[in-house]
Amino acid sequence: QVQLVETGGGLVQAGGSLRLSCDASRSLFSLTTMGWYRQAPRKQRELVAEVNASSVTTYANSVKGRFTISRDNPKNANLQMNNLRLEDTGFYYCKAVTAWGAIFWGQGTQVTVSS
C-alpha cells in the first residue's frame, strides 16, 4: 500500500556520491511538485530540493551546486548528490503533491556520510 518508494540510500564517504530515486505507484497520479526533504538527528525536517511540473527547481542553500533534482517522468523524482559532506547525513523523505492538493510522503531512506 506504499504509494511513494525511495531507493538509493546508504553509507558513503565524504566527497562521494549517491543517487536517490522516488517512484510513485500506479494509484498515485496527477503529480505536480515532487521534492526531497531530510531530517538529521536532533534537527527539524528541512527541504533539500523540489521540482514542479514545469521543471522549475528549488534547492536549499546548503546543497546548491552539489545536488541536482530531476524527473524522468511525471511520477518520479531523482536526487543526484555529489561531493557529500558529513552534515548531509540524515533520513531522506520523498514528498509528492497532486494536482488537487493532496500531499504524500514516502517512508524514507537513510543516508550516512562518513569521514
pLDDT (tens digit per residue) in 67-90: 999 999 999 999 999 999 999 999
Q: How far apart are CA 69 and CA 78, in angstroms?
A: 6
Q: Is the pLDDT of residue 1 over 80?
A: no
Distances 102 to 29, 98, 111 between C-alpha atoms, Å: 11, 5, 27
Q: Read off the C-alpha cell for 61.
A: 542553500
Across the range 34-55, mean pLDDT stands at 96
- Whether pLDDT at 29 is above 90: no
